[in-house]
Amino acid sequence: MKLVSLVVTLLLGALLLMATADFPDWGDPQSPASLHVSDYYIENSMEQTSVPNFVTSILADYRGYDTMFETTVIFCAGLTVLTLLRRNHRRQKKVVMSRPKRENQDLILTSAARMIAPMMQIFALYVVAHGHHSPGGGFQGGVILGASFILLALAYDLRTILDRLKERRALIMCGIGVAIYAGIGAGCLLLGGNFLDYGVWGKVLGVSPVEARSHGMLGVEIGVAITVMYIMFSLYADLSSGGEMDEGL
């Protein structure tokens, strides 16, 4: 059986490698993508959206609909893990085999985590806010924000962090993040534009439509960051404690 699967895998790998030979070379200016698609964004992104980093403008504006549902996918993934793992002891009536509580947390670990976490959070906010001008954006910033809480949960224990970051509140915030994204999109409808056509927000914000696109992108990036941050922490909390929400790792 192992031999068969090895042969199948090798054959498949060889086929895929043969297929990659037909791809255009990396960075080939004559490749179809570079001929028609990329040029448009490279040349027009700055005039149409006033966002220098056109990766961000493609993700959050030109392909904003995709990104909205990517955020929703993250949201659903978090909810799925929660549904599968979260256990409620009052209902199950089983004997709780709680692990011994950690009496003395490591001083070096906790002090280091306490100093690193604020730096991470400020850097994450910078990544979110500066996503228009440099690599980064809502997703990366949200992950770093979530990671800062995971770091604290690793250094202390999960329960200490859950006292400050309530599970219930985290889940509400996950939904709010997606709602901010969809809400900014739906607001465009109310203002007479198309869904996720941020330009019309200029009427409300008092700026030109081009400038409004930039602001709209910042808004949806913030929504993405909120959802991703809380989902990442919720995933960690569920997986590390096996759904018990006790001490964690």
Partner 1 sequence: MTLDASLLWQFDFLIVLMVIICAVAALTFKDLITSAVVFGAYSFFMCLLWTEMLAVDVAFTEAAVGAGVSTVLFLGTALHIKRRAKD
Show the tokens assigned to 163. 């006292």
Give the shortest CB-64-to-partner 1 separation in angstroms.
16
Identify residues 141-170 at the interface with partner 1 (CB under 8 A): 143-144, 146-147, 150, 154
Q: Confirm if 144 and 131 have CB atoms less than 8 A apart.
A: no
Retrieve residue 203's tokens.
Answer: 């009427």
> Does residue 119 interact with partner 1 by CB under 8 A?
no
In whole angstroms, how close is the CB of 46 to partner 1 at the nearest point?
Answer: 16
Beta strands in 168-239 (DSSP E): none
* Residue whose C-alpha is closest to residue 157's, from 45, 51, 236: 236
Among 64, 78, 137, 177, binds partner 1 (CB under 8 A): 137
Position among 178, 212, 235, 245 found at the interface with partner 1 (CB under 8 A): 235
- Listed in order, strand segments (DSSP E) in 57-192 are none
Asked if 242 touches partner 1 (CB under 8 A), the answer is yes
Other CB atoms within 10 Å distance of the CB of residue 96: 9
Neighbouring residues of 167: CB distance < 8 A, sequence distance ≥ 6: 234, 237, 245
Q: Which is nearer to partner 1, 144 or 196 (CB)?
A: 144
* 186-225 footprint of partner 1 as x/- string (CB under 8 A): ----------------------------------------
Q: What one-character-per-residue DSSP string does 90-115 give?
A: HHH-----PPPP--S--HHHHHHHHH
234 near partner 1, judged by CB under 8 A:
no
Which part of the chain contacts partner 1 (CB under 8 A), choosing from 43-51, 134-142, 190-198, 209-217? Answer: 134-142
* Cβ neighbours of 29 (radius 10 Å): 10
CB of 203 to partner 1, least distance (A): 31
Is there binding between residue 128 and partner 1 (CB under 8 A)?
A: no
Contact between 86 and 243 under an 8 Å Cβ cutoff? The reply is yes
Q: Between 99 and 203, name the residue whose CB sits nearer to partner 1.
A: 99
Cα–Cα distance between 206 and 188 in angstroms, integer? 15
Q: Build a one-symbol-per-residue string for 34-53: x at contacts with partner 1 by CB under 8 A, - elsewhere.
A: -------------------x
Contacts (Cβ under 8 Å, ≥6 apart) of 211? 50, 202, 205
> Which residues are at the interface with partner 1 (CB under 8 A)?
26-27, 29, 53, 55-56, 127, 135-137, 139-140, 143-144, 146-147, 150, 154, 232, 235-236, 239-240, 242, 248-249
